[in-house]
Amino acid sequence: MPSQQLNTAFALRLRVSWCLLYCVNFLHATTVLILWLSPTSFFWHIFLTALIIASAWWTLRYQVFFYMPWSIIKIGWTGQDWQLELSNGAIVPAQLLPSTIMTVPLVLLHFRCGRWCRRSLILCPDSLGKDELRQLRFWLRFHSSLKHDLDKKGS
């Protein structure tokens, strides 16, 4: 029975995550505040503040609002492999990496999309619907434990 659920194909469309938006803004604002409280020259304050603002802008456009052409807007499991749909319409085959992290409030998916291309996806509780997030967590837990058991038997 569980192997039937494992091979079931699914596709998950991402939503704008307000939780991720607040976290990105809070972390960048805190970094700027700490920078301005540090005893460095005015030139370094301006230069590093500009870099932090550029980092916030890049992160918001790429991970939160999906404006970049290479932003992942949909992930899917075909029963055999992962497919990522990018905001420019391209569908990229991908391999889920073991560095994927799953905690209660957060899921970090790491994919390999070719020899040198890797992509990561941050999923907060409001990035997907509750049922979709539950399905993804179940699949990740079950698939990783099944793969680990098969790897142990094979070696």
Per-residue pLDDT reduced to its tens digit, 8-64: 678 889 999 999 999 999 999 999 999 999 998 999 999 999 999 999 999 999 999
How many Å apart are CA 45 and CA 48, to the nearest integer? Answer: 5
Domain segments of the chain: what residues? 1-15+69-155, 17-65
Name the pTM for this structure.
0.78
The tokens 């790429």 sit on which residue?
A: 62
Per-residue pLDDT reduced to its tens digit, 71-117: 999 998 887 788 999 999 999 999 988 898 888 889 999 999 988 99
Q: Is 39 exposed, middle or buried (0-12, 13-18, 19+ CB in 10 A)?
A: exposed
Give DSSP secondary structure letters for the chain.
-HHHHHT--EEEE----HHHHHHHHHHHHHHHHHHHHS---HHHHHHHHHHHHHHHHHHIIIIIS--STT-EEEEEE-SSSEEEEETTS-EEEEEE-TT-EE-SS-EEEEEE-SSS-EEEEEE-TTTS-HHHHHHHHHHHHHHHHHHHHHHHHH-
Q: Residue 2: its pLDDT value, please?
A: 42
